[in-house]
């Protein structure tokens, strides 16, 4: 079912298509009230935003705008060519966060930062601290690596977030964005430069800016960028043209490839363009690319990107655990792509992947206090890393513990903007009713065609599998409440408990459990998902993890960390007795392992499989997102099977 939606710019959500299978709910409609994600939103608000502000100042990335305004650049400019974008992502996070719950200090931080950014904008709308001045590269002279359009994309997304959370605000950010967007259209539109940015991002941002300002020119410019991609308008680079998806046109590709963040941002933008232009052929292609990418190029965590060298997808089934790049930002971008397909097409598979990625990539990156981050999210740590110095910038991905800041620091503000806008991904509506995609304690209040509806979600998910939806307000007519049943949830049930009536329980299959009735206030619908720990086997074509299994429980992937092994044992020595029972132990999973004595040889390849003494032990596995919170350790998600 494709419905035509009448969108209003005041729905506070990052992606608001003018048409689609379902319509997203904004921050004003869904409020996460606690639990796993509520805690993380609180840490994000309380800890991460100030942390980011501190480092943006400390590293001079904000001061670059001051220098630009004062005409002092290029002297003194600090940071990489894309550092402006971190400021914009920070602004976007502030916009969602103040939209979620107003706060004077956050509002001041937002306005102050906008003022510094706006002061650096040039008369014709150009805005970038790295290009265009005497002593700098000329504007648009380095499209393959310069990130000018990429940075503007993040600027536009910040402006969209602000306009959707504070419509008509006098801070001026939307005007800054539209002036820059108008310049982009003039420079890169018909008759202008026929090329694209080496890092896709502006495509999805232009569409959203077009949606929020009702300006079709921006959407047309996004369409041009999408159609040009893969036609060879960028020069060759050492990583090959697939790195920035210039190897083949978007509609001819079989799967996502190249740099994983670029690939997902591009796919998000292409989906946006397809939706706004009614290009169902393109949408079909993108959905197929997504399916192939999920089937062959995605980690069990939802992480994407197998290569450190180029932060890129590998070949099909090339998914090494120990060199998993699984960049945090690729997880964020993958959520955006899947979400746009869900809005356009519907389908629990998209929400399944979003959930998997949120719990196992996005939640893994930040430390408990939200002031240190993983840039890449390995699935196998072979050597205990030294603790990161909380006062030192580290390179992008080589640290084995979370680090406070990176020389390429895209991930912290990307996590921040995602957590601040997370309520957007919880539920949608369509003509028939409301769909609950993600499970968190929340209140939902929106208007269906049948009338206003309000409900409360209560749950201790993912620790517990019971999700209770209480109807607080409902129209008199029938409507459908759809609850996602994750693909792993074999044996799930839905119980309908009418206010004052007799509950009835029904078995439900993975997909969406649809409850259609004329609800009354006080009615409850209870989804029960089986959360017993389970053993998961990989496709045999994933060479890197042949002969291993992983442990999962609900949406969480588990990990074996050396600090949970007896007396100095290392995860390299551990195998799992895969048919022994697993214990469900207050958020941990107890497993039976064997620990093997290292049996060193001068040459590790021989005529016989190498055996060695082994002892049997019981050990706890922890949720992967909790790893490396207890000092240097080794860790593995995929554990070799004993025997």
What phi-psi label fits residue 45: left (phi over 0), alpha (psi between -120 and 50 degrees) or beta? alpha
For residue 171, the minimal CB distance to a second copy (Å) is: 37
**What is the distance between the alpha carbons of residues 160 and 627, in angstroms, rounded to a whole number?**
35
CB of 349 to a second copy, least distance (A): 7
238 binds a second copy (CB under 8 A): yes
Is the Cβ–Cβ distance between 619 and 591 less than 8 Å?
A: yes
Q: In the complex, what is the shortest distance from the CB of residue 396 to a second copy, in angstroms, rounded to a whole number? A: 8
The yes or no reply on residue 532 touching a second copy (CB under 8 A) is: no
Nearest approach in angstroms of CB 292 to a second copy is: 9
User: What is the DSSP code (8-state) at residue 425?
Assistant: G
Options 42, 69, 572, 617; binder of a second copy; rule CB under 8 A: 572
Name which position in 2, 233, 317, 475 contacts a second copy (CB under 8 A). Answer: 317
Here the tokens at position 129 are: 């601290």
Task: Please report, for residues 112, 365, 442, the alpha-carbon distance to residue 461 in angstroms, rounded to integers and kept in the order given.
Answer: 38, 20, 12
Residue 92 or 573 having the CB closest to a second copy: 573
If one asks whether residue 536 binds a second copy (CB under 8 A), the answer comes out as yes
Q: Which is nearer to a second copy, 71 or 603 (CB)?
A: 603
407 binds a second copy (CB under 8 A): yes
Q: Does 257 bind a second copy (CB under 8 A)?
A: no
Judge contact between 396 and 404, C-beta under 8 A: no
Residue 247 Cβ, how far from a second copy at the closest point, in Å? 11
Structure tokens at 410: 């895209």
Q: What are phi and psi of 160, to 5 degrees?
A: -60, -45
- Using the rule CB under 8 A, is 597 a contact of a second copy? no
Q: Return the residue of 349, 432, 523, 564 that touches a second copy, per CB under 8 A.
A: 349
Q: Is residue 297 within 8 Å of 289, Cβ to Cβ?
A: no
Q: Strands 380-381 and 466-473, how do they pair?
A: unpaired
Distance CA 279, CA 277 (A): 5
Selected range binding a second copy among 20-28, 38-46, 310-318, 445-453, rule: CB under 8 A: 310-318
Residue nearer to a second copy on the CB measure, 46 or 610: 610
1 near a second copy (CB under 8 A): no
The encoded tokens of residue 197 equal 């940015």
State which of positions 124-153 bind a second copy (CB under 8 A).
none
The interaxial angle of helices 49-58 and 83-100, nearest 10 deg, is 150
Residue 513 forms beta bridges with which residues? 483
Buried-exposed string 47-73: b where 16+ CB fall within 10 A, e elsewhere: bbbebbbebbeebebbbbbbbbbeeeb
Among 309, 447, 504, 506, binds a second copy (CB under 8 A): 309
Q: Is residue 579 part of the contact set for a second copy (CB under 8 A)?
A: no
Residue 485, interface with a second copy (CB under 8 A)?
no
Cα 399 to Cα 75, 274, 375, 378, 439, distances in angstroms: 31, 39, 9, 11, 33
Q: CA neighbours within 13 Å on the CB side: how many for 350? A: 26
Cα angle value 361/362/364 (rounded, 5°)? 65
Q: Does 263 bind a second copy (CB under 8 A)?
A: no
Count of CB atoms situated within 10 Å of the CB of 601? 8
Q: By CB under 8 A, is residue 596 in contact with a second copy?
A: yes
Given 568, 601, 613, 643, the residue binding a second copy (CB under 8 A): 601
Query: What is the closest distance, in whole angstroms, from the C-beta atom of residue 500 to a second copy in the complex?
Result: 40
The reply to whether 380 sits near a second copy by the rule CB under 8 A is yes
Q: Contacting a second copy (CB under 8 A), which of 104, 602, 613, 643?
A: 602
**How far is 205 from 180, CA to CA, in rounded Å?**
12
Q: Which of 213, 548, 592, 633 binds a second copy (CB under 8 A)?
A: 548
Taking CB under 8 A as the criterion, the residue among 320, 331, 462, 554 binding a second copy is 320
Site for a second copy in 604-643 (CB under 8 A): 604-610, 640
Question: Least separation, in Å, of the C-beta of 597 and a second copy?
Answer: 12
Q: Is residue 169 close enough to count as binding a second copy by CB under 8 A?
A: no
Total residues binding a second copy (CB under 8 A) = 60
Residue 168 or 613: which CB sits closer to a second copy?
A: 613
When asked if residue 315 is in the footprint of a second copy (CB under 8 A), the reply is yes
Phi, psi of 366, rounded to the nearest 5 degrees: -80, 150
Q: Site for a second copy (CB under 8 A): which residue of 516, 537, 615, 616? A: 537
Dig out the tokens for 148 from the structure: 């000018």
Closer residue to a second copy, CB minimum distance, 141 or 407: 407
Q: Which stretch binds a second copy (CB under 8 A): 196-204, 446-454, 558-566, 595-603?
A: 595-603
Q: Tell me which residues in 487-526 interact with a second copy (CB under 8 A).
A: 487
Q: What is the DSSP letter of 252?
A: G
8 Å CB contact between 353 and 425: no
Q: Is 54 in the site for a second copy (CB under 8 A)?
A: no
Separation CA 632–CA 401 (nearest Å): 7
Bond prior to 462 in cis (omega within 30° of 0): yes
Instruction: Mark the segment that binds a second copy (CB under 8 A) among 41-49, 289-297, 473-481, 519-527.
Output: 289-297
Q: Is 323 in the site for a second copy (CB under 8 A)?
A: yes
Name the pairing type of β-strands 511-517 and 479-485: antiparallel
CA distance 66 to 60: 10
Q: Residue 602: is it exposed, middle or buried by C-beta count within 10 angstroms (0-12/13-18/19+)?
A: exposed
Alpha carbon distance 153, 150 (integer Å): 5
- Which of 436, 469, 550, 589 is close enough to bind a second copy by CB under 8 A? 550
For a second copy, the closer of residues 46 and 615 by Cβ is: 615
Chain residues in the site for a second copy (CB under 8 A): 238-240, 291, 294-296, 300, 307-309, 314-318, 320-323, 349, 380, 382-383, 395-396, 398, 407, 487, 534-548, 550, 572, 596, 598, 600-610, 640
């Amino acid at each position: 079912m494709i419905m035509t939606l009448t969108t209003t710019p005041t729905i506070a959500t990052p992606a608001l298509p003018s048409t689609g299978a379902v319509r997203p709910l904004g921050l004003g409609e869904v409020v996460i009230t606690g639990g796993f994600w509520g805690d993380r939103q609180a840490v994000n608000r309380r800890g991460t935003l100030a942390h980011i502000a501190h480092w943006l100042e400390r590293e001079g990335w904000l001061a670059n705008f001051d220098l630009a305004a004062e005409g002092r650049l290029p002297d003194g400019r600090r940071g990489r060519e894309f550092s402006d974008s971190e400021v914009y992502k920070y602004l976007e996070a502030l916009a969602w966060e103040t939209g979620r719950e107003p706060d004077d200090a956050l509002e001041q931080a937002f306005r102050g930062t906008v003022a510094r950014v706006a002061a650096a904008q040039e008369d014709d709308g150009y805005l970038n601290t790295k290009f265009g001045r005497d002593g700098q590269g000329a504007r648009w002279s380095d499209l393959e690596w310069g990130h000018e359009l990429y940075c503007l994309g993040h600027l536009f997304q910040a402006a969209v977030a602000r306009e959707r959370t504070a419509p008509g605000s006098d801070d001026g950010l939307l005007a800054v964005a539209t002036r820059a967007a108008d310049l982009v259209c003039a420079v890169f539109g018909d008759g202008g430069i026929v090329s694209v940015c080496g890092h896709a991002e502006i495509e999805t941002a232009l569409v959203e800016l077009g949606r929020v300002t009702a300006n079709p020119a921006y959407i047309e410019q996004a369409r041009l960028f999408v159609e040009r991609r893969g036609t060879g308008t960028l020069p060759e680079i050492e990583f090959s043209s697939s790195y920035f998806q210039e190897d083949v046109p978007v509609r001819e590709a079989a799967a996502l490839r190249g740099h994983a963040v670029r690939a997902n941002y591009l796919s998000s933008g292409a989906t946006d363009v397809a939706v706004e232009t009614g290009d169902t052929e393109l949408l079909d292609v993108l959905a197929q690319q997504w399916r192939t990418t999920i089937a062959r190029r995605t980690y069990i965590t939802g992480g994407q990107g197998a290569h450190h060298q180029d932060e890129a997808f590998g070949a099909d089934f090339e998914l090494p655990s120990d060199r998993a790049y699984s960049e945090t930002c690729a997880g964020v971008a993958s959520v955006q792509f899947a979400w746009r397909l869900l809005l356009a097409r519907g389908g629990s598979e998209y929400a399944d992947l979003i959930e998997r990625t949120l719990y196992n990539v996005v939640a893994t990156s930040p430390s408990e206090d939200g002031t240190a981050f993983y840039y890449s999210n390995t699935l196998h740590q072979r050597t205990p890393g030294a603790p990161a110095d909380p006062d030192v910038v580290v390179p992008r991905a080589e640290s084995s513990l979370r680090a406070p800041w990176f020389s390429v620091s895209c991930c912290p503000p990307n996590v921040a903007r995602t957590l601040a806008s997370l309520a957007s991904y919880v539920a949608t509506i369509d003509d028939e009713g409301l769909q609950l995609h993600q499970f968190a304690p929340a209140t939902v209040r929106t208007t269906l065609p049948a009338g206003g509806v309000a409900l409360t979600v209560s749950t201790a998910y993912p620790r517990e599998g019971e999700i209770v939806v209480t109807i607080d307000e409902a129209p008199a007519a029938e409507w459908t409440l759809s609850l996602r049943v994750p693909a792993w949830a074999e044996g799930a049930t839905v119980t309908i408990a009418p206010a004052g009536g007799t509950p009835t329980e029904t078995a439900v299959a993975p997909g969406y459990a649809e409850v259609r009735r004329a609800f009354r206030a006080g009615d409850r619908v209870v989804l029960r998902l089986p959360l017993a720990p389970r053993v998961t086997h990989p496709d045999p074509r994933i060479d890197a993890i042949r002969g291993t299994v992983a442990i999962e429980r609900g949406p969480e992937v588990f990990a074996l960390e050396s600090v949970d092994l007896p007396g100095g044992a290392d995860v390299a020595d551990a195998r799992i007795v895969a048919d022994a029972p697993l214990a469900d132990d207050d958020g941990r999973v107890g497993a039976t392992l064997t620990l093997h004595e290292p049996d060193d040889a001068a040459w590790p390849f021989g005529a016989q499989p190498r055996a060695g003494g082994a002892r049997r032990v019981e050990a706890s596995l922890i949720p992967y997102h909790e790893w490396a919170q207890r000092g240097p350790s080794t860790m593995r998600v995929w554990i070799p099977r004993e025997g």
